[in-house]
Structure 1
Amino acid sequence: MMSDMTEGDQVAVLGVRVRLGAGATVDDVRALKTWLEREEPLERLRSEEVLSIEERTSTDAARGRLGPDLELVLKVLGDVVTVAALTEYTARAVKTWTNNRRRLQGGDPDPQIRPLEPDGE
């Protein structure tokens, strides 16, 4: 079967970015990543190999920003889930994690969740 793509064409990267605010630590980012990896249905999508969760250095962090320059990127690797559904699953899991963290440690990590740009950034 012929593809309509030519050399140099890029496939849009679908997914969401989760960034914690200035009150968060690197440990918070890593704890949230672990939480997301274990949260159903995200865990199911990972086990089906249609979702990856990556920790990476933020490319557009504000100059002079306090807190970690790390973010979590959840990328859709197949066509089993839409970005809207992934955003909803992620938002629910992040809200639960945030409430749990607030109860145990105090403070507010001020999470932000947004879709990835088509280039994955």
Structure 2
Amino acid sequence: MANTEIRVRLTHGASESDVGALKAWLEREQKLEALRNSGRLEIQESAGTEDGAHSPMGTGMDIMLVLIGAGAPKLFDEVFEQVKSGVRAWRENRRSVERGEPPEVDVEPGGDGR
């Protein structure tokens, strides 16, 4: 089955406020917001995987984007690129409004879809 989930993991000193701020940022991305409003995309926080839970000062939380419906696999690549673009924009914005470097963010296919 094709991927229908995207995992966004903040690392290297991310705080809970970083997770919430990035989730809110992604929810406002125009294409992602349109998919959310149509019921084809859910954006949620979930407990991080074991390796995220052991990072020093890490939050142990991921942001999961789940595509819903029969066309979800076809949308995956487009949404994946939009999420990566949104994460880059959020990091640039955070760098300009807060001191210090923003946390690193990994964006990867989620779940066990391949």
TM-score where L is the length of structure 2: 0.86
Corresponding residue number in structure 1 for 2:10 = 20
Q: 5+ unaligned residues in a row in structure 1: which ranges?
A: 1-10
Change (3 A) 1:101 1:75: same
Cα deviation for residue 63 of structure 1 reads 6.0
- Deviation at residue 114 of structure 1 after TM alignment: 0.1
Range that drifts further, 48-57 or 102-111: 102-111
Rg comparison, structure with higher value: 1
Give ranges in structure 2 of 5+ residues lacking alignment.
Answer: none
Q: Does 1:104 align with 2:94?
A: no
Instruction: Output the CA distance in 2 between the equivalents of 1:14 and 1:100.
Output: 28
Which structure: greater strand fraction?
Answer: 2
Query: Which whole-Å CA distance do the structure 2 matches of 1:116 and 1:62 have between them?
Result: 14
Q: Partners in 2 of 1:76 and 1:107 — Cα distance? A: 31
What is the percentage of aligned positions where both structures have the same residue?
Answer: 34
**How far apart in 2 are the matches of 1:12 and 1:115?**
10
Deviation (angstroms), 1:12 = 6.4
TM-score by length of 1: 0.81
RMSD value over aligned CA atoms?
Answer: 1.8
Amino acid at match of 1:84: D
Residue in 1 aligned with 2:55? 65
